[in-house]
């Protein structure tokens, strides 16, 4: 696997991981006891911390990509091993 493919697949894992960890730890103003500002939605987060989201997404994507790459190298799960999928015609 070349470096471009590794980078592209890791970026895909990172984006998916960011969307997975995005809602964790978010609190609304009702939950934190803050007063809503004029024009603010009731569901708007009051404690959003993008740095924490980036850190969590980076850790999760590194773990997931590590598992993906280990499977790529070792061949634990292949199409031939899945029921209903085979490469023979």
Q: CA 67, CA 74: separation in Å to the nearest integer?
A: 10
Q: What is the pLDDT of residues 73-89, one digit of tens each?
A: 999 998 888 888 877 65
Residue found under tokens 């085979």: 86
Neighbouring C-beta atoms of residue 33, cutoff 10 Å = 8
Residue found under tokens 């999760």: 60
Q: What is the pTM of this model?
A: 0.83
pLDDT at 79: 85
Q: CA 33, CA 22: separation in Å to the nearest integer?
A: 22
pLDDT at 88: 67
pLDDT at 89: 55
DSSP 86: -
Regions of the chain where pLDDT drops below 50: none
Neighbouring C-beta atoms of residue 25, cutoff 10 Å = 13
pLDDT at 50: 96
């Amino acid at each position: 696997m070349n470096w471009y493919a590794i980078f592209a697949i890791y970026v895909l894992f990172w984006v998916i991981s960011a969307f997975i960890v995005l809602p964790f730890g978010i609190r609304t103003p009702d939950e934190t006891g803050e007063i809503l500002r004029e024009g603010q939605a009731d569901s708007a987060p009051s404690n959003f911390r993008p740095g924490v989201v980036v850190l969590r997404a980076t850790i999760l994507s590194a773990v997931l990509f590590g598992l993906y790459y280990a499977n790529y190298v070792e061949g634990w799960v292949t199409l031939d091993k899945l029921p209903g999928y085979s490469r023979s015609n």
